[in-house]
Amino acid sequence: MKLPVHHEGWPFIAIIVLANAILFAAAGEYGILLLPLTLWTIAFFRDPERHPPQGANTILSPADGRLLPVVRAVPPQELGLGTGQKVRLSIFMNIFDVHVNRIPCNGTVERMAYRPGKFINASFDKASEANERMAIRLAMPNGDKRRDLVVVQIAGLIARRIKCDLKEGDTVCRGERFGIIRFGSRLDVYLPEDARVLVRAGQRVKAGETVLADLPV
C-alpha cells in the first residue's frame, strides 16, 4: 500500500524516526516519550486523495482548516490588480490539519509574486499584509469576459517554509495539488466580483472538496 504522505515530508519523517529509534536503543522504554512527536510528524505530512465535486463554475477550497470572517480587502499589490477591494475568504490551518494545498478552479497561472515578511499568528487579520507570502493570480476561462482569482499562501507563527510548485504560464485544473506550508499557516482567496459565497465564518473546509463560492454561467 502507498502511504499517503507528501514528498516534502519524507526528510522530516526520516529524521524523527531515526531519532526515535536511537532513543529506544539508548534509553529503552523511555523512547516512547518521543513517539507522539514521531506520529504527529507523519500525520502532519499526510496527503489523502480528494475528489472534487462536479461543477466547473465552482471555486473549491485550496486548504483544509477553519474559515475566518469574510471581508473585503485589496489583493496583494504585487499582482497588479489595482486598489479595488474584493471579497476575501481566509482559511486558517492549525498544526493538525492537512497542509497540502490544492487549486481552487480551472485556469492559467497569470502571475506569481513572493514577498518576505513576518511570522505572526496566521489567524490574525494583519497576517495577510505583514507575513511572508506567495501570491498567485489565476486567469479563469470565461469566454470573452475576464475573471481573475487570487490565492495567497501565507506563513504563520510556526510555519517557516512556503512551498509552491507552480510557475507562470501553467495551465491548472481544480483539485490539483500545488504546494504545502510547514507548519501551521493560512491561505487567502480573493474572489471575482460576480462570485457568490457559499460558506460562513467558523466553518471547517477541505482542500479540493469544499465549495467556497460559485459563479454565474
Locate the domains of the chain by residue range: 7-44, 58-214
pLDDT of residue 27: 87
Say how far apart CA 9 and CA 161 lie, in whole Å.
12
Active-site option among 61, 90, 128, 185 = 185
Active site residue 61: no
To which residue does cell 507562470 refer? 168
pLDDT of residue 102: 96
pLDDT of residue 24: 87
pLDDT of residue 150: 97
Residue 93 φ then ψ, to 5°: -105, 120
Nearest CA among 142, 164, 169 for reference residue 153: 164
Mean pLDDT in the chain? 88
CATH number for the 58-214 domain, one of 2.70.70, 3.10.50, 3.40.50, 3.40.1350? 2.70.70
Say how far apart CA 82 and CA 79 lie, in whole Å.
8
pLDDT of residue 169: 94
State the amino acid at position 157 in one-letter form.
Answer: L
Q: What is the pLDDT along the chain (217 residues), one digit of tens a residue?
A: 456 888 888 888 899 899 999 988 888 888 888 999 999 888 888 899 999 998 888 999 999 999 999 999 999 999 989 899 999 999 998 888 888 999 999 999 999 999 887 777 667 777 777 788 999 999 988 766 778 999 999 987 765 678 899 999 999 999 999 998 877 688 999 999 999 999 999 999 999 999 999 998 7
State the amino acid at position 97 in one-letter form.
Answer: D
pLDDT of residue 144: 63
